[in-house]
Amino acid sequence: MQDAQQVYHCAAIVSYESGQANLMQEVNVVGTANVVNLALEMQVEKLVHVSSIAALGRSGKSKSLDESAKWEQSKFNTQYAISKHRAEMEVWRGVAEGLHAAVVNPSVILGSGYWKEGTGRIFMNGWNNFPFYPRGGTGFVDVRDVAKATIELMEHPIAGERFIINGENLSYHDVMTRIALALGKKTPFIRVNPFIQETAWRAAWLYSKWKGKRPFITKETARQSARTHYYDNTKSITQLGIHYTPIQQTIEETTTQLKIVATKGFEPDVLELI
């Protein structure tokens, strides 16, 4: 960080496996504390921390959240959410100590990348004619919009604030159906009810232990996808001037790339800047 004037802190472990909680504490929380401390020591001009909508907290009620949302201790918060909340607290601690910093809270990021990890799995599910869809919903955003918003916030004099970066609020069924249609595949048609939900994560856990692989679904992902939390992007539009890419466009461009890389072993790819 020596001689750096602007610092983007984007590193984090994203996991919904209970066994990864300590790792997320070490990387997401302690790692952020180290970045903040060094930024203070080096007197950088500005730090922009990439947080998550998960850091806003979740309760059992379906609702719309904005930047003023207060963290609630709740059984509905995942270990990942807790780690991102604590990481964000380290940034605000730095601000209190004189650090010029701001935070972005992206929603579920869509775009090309590693197809068999993270949100890339949503597109792979469509490719594989995955028949199930969860009954919840959340916010979705184009990966390029997250990058542009983060840069815009860095160049903007605003500090000591956070911004939700969210393109559209949609149900999982809507997004998964759009992806399947764009790929020319079968649309998901089996709604995941509570029985399927609770059976699925248990079966995935047993299968992962048998095969020695990471589970494709966990208790946290199964239960989170059954809930609906939407996110207000007004602040990012009015104060940062962000123009969000329609999610339909994101899906069409990403699925076009997926069709191409399907002939190349699903190698990672990136979307063109717009």
Cβ contact 166:233 at 8 Å: yes
| Long-range contacts of 146-153, Cβ-Cβ distance < 8 Å, separation of 24 or more | 146/50, 146/104, 146/106, 146/109, 148/242, 149/104, 149/106, 149/236, 149/240, 149/242, 150/8, 150/10, 150/48, 150/50, 150/104, 152/240, 152/241, 152/242, 153/48, 153/102, 153/104, 153/240
**Per-residue model confidence as pLDDT tens for the chain (274 residues):** 788 999 999 999 998 887 889 999 999 999 999 999 999 999 999 999 999 999 998 766 657 899 999 898 888 889 999 999 999 999 999 999 999 999 999 999 999 999 988 899 999 999 999 999 999 999 999 999 999 999 999 999 999 999 999 999 999 999 999 999 999 999 999 999 988 899 888 888 787 778 777 777 888 888 888 889 999 999 999 999 999 999 999 999 999 999 999 999 999 999 988 7
Cβ contact 70:33 at 8 Å: no
Which domains, from first to last, does the chain contain?
A: 6-261 (3.40.50.720)
Predicted structure pTM score: 0.93
DSSP SS3 for 163: strand
Euclidean distance between CA atoms 183 and 162, whole angstroms = 36
pLDDT of residue 25: 96
pLDDT of residue 156: 96
pLDDT of residue 38: 98
| Residue among 97, 120, 155 nearest 250 (CA) | 120
Q: How many residues does the chain have?
A: 274
| Residue among 94, 100, 93, 96 nearest 5 (CA) | 100
